[in-house]
């Protein structure tokens, strides 16, 4: 594994090995066991969109690993004024040991990897959010002790989260049922990946999808970059809310996960959110541990 551009590029074994290392790093952090595996290394973090969790968890994660992280807002980089990604990649490869990028087009992330010579980590694009799903799988595995055979139900917009969840769940032997309104379905490339897999269900009926779920997942109805569509989306997603009624269709005691930020009263009710707050904030914390594992896998010197 040279980069983390999208989960489709990873084998099931690579995913599980990241989760195992993440568990170990979490244990070490909780027990004050230092792990300076990236001492002297620098990670550049390019942000073309806002972030709370991704920025802070990568920055502190890099610090805990003995390295440093540089926050590079695209507003201040020459990339924001039109310097081609090919040139940015080749320049930054000469200063840094890795790049995390959050942007719109998946192609930009793929191009950084193509033209640069250091590991590239996708910190969210319109297409996918692999770091989030690694943290989600880690959280679910911590809760249930295993992933295989569990059923995750995703309710709402077939967006970057849905795309990564489908791939992450299917690669780890989980079942995934997705309920989205017509016109808001996951990416065709992801549907092609999932097609024919008996562990995958796509429906427009949230109750059908939620039946017997071990994990119920949702995300905002209007992702970053879709602000102008917000009102139309609120109408389109009426009925696709994670609320008490929907949770009754899931298994008793089912977990709730959300990548955050959450919009209470839209994709999730205040009641469901607060009843599952411990699971949701454990999931947010696990961004730190999962991403540290990714950085160690990609950037540490061979032992």
284 binds ligand NVA, rule: CB under 6 A = no
Torsion of CA 282, 283, 284, 288, to 10 degrees: 90
Q: How far apart are CA 139 and CA 265, in angstroms?
A: 25
Contact pattern from residue 189 through residue 228 relative to ligand CP, giving x for each residue in contact according to CB under 6 A and a dash for the rest:
----------------------------------------
286 binds ligand NVA, rule: CB under 6 A = no
Does residue 264 sit in helix, strand or coil? strand
Q: Is residue 233 flagged as an active site residue?
A: no
For residue 230, what are the CA distances in angstroms to 5, 233, 235? 28, 5, 9
In sequence order, the β-bridge partners of residue 264 are: 268
Q: Is residue 129 flagged as an active site residue?
A: yes
257 binds ligand NVA, rule: CB under 6 A = no
Q: Which is nearer to ligand NVA, 159 or 257 (CB)?
A: 159
Q: Is residue 185 flagged as an active site residue?
A: no
For residues 153-164, b (16+ Cβ closer than 10 Å) or e, as one string?
bbbbbbbbbbbb
161 binds, among ligand CP, ligand NVA, none (CB under 5 to 8 A by kind): ligand NVA
Query: Among 259, 266, 276, 291, which one carries the catalytic annotation?
Result: 259
Query: Among 97, 287, 289, 291, which one carries the catalytic annotation?
Result: 287
Q: How far apart are CA 238 and CA 260, in angstroms?
A: 19
Region 186-245 residues binding ligand NVA, contact defined as CB under 6 A: 219-220, 223-224
Q: Which of 161, 215, 268, 296 binds ligand NVA (CB under 6 A)?
A: 161
Residue with tokens 């320049």: 91
Helix axes 130-144, 12-30, angle to 10 degrees: 70
Q: Is residue 287 flagged as an active site residue?
A: yes
Q: Which residues bind ligand CP (CB under 6 A)?
A: 51-54, 124, 132, 259-260
């Amino acid at each position: 594994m040279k980069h983390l551009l999208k989960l489709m590029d990873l084998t099931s074994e690579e995913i599980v090995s990241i989760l195992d290392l993440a568990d170990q790093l979490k244990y070490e952090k909780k027990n004050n066991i230092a792990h300076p595996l990236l001492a002297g290394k620098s990670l550049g973090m390019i942000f073309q969109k806002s972030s709370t969790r991704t920025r802070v968890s990568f920055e502190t994660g890099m610090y805990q690993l003995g390295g440093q992280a540089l926050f590079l807002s695209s507003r201040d980089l020459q990339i924001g004024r039109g310097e081609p990604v090919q040139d940015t990649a080749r320049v930054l490869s000469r200063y840094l040991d890795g790049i995390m990028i959050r942007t719109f087009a998946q192609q930009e992330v793929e191009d950084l990897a193509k033209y640069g010579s250091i590991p590239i980590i996708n910190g969210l694009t319109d297409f996918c959010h692999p770091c989030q799903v690694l943290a989600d799988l880690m959280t679910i595995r911590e809760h249930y002790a295993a992933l295989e055979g569990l059923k995750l139900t995703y309710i709402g917009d077939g967006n970057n989260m849905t795309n990564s969840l489908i791939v992450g769940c299917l690669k780890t032997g989980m079942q995934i049922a997705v309920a989205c309104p017509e016109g808001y379905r996951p990416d065709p490339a992801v549907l092609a990946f999932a097609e024919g897999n008996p562990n995958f269900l796509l429906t427009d009926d949230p109750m059908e999808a939620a039946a017997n779920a071990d994990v119920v997942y949702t995300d905002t109805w209007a992702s970053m970059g879709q602000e102008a569509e917000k009102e139309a989306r609120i109408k389109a997603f009426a009925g696709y809310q994670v609320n008490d009624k929907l949770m009754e269709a899931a298994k008793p005691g089912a977990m709730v996960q959300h990548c955050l930020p959450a919009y209470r009263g839209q994709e999730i009710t205040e009641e469901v959110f607060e009843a599952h707050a411990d699971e949701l904030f454990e999931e947010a914390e696990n961004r730190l541990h999962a991403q540290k594992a990714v950085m160690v896998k990609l950037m540490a010197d061979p032992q």
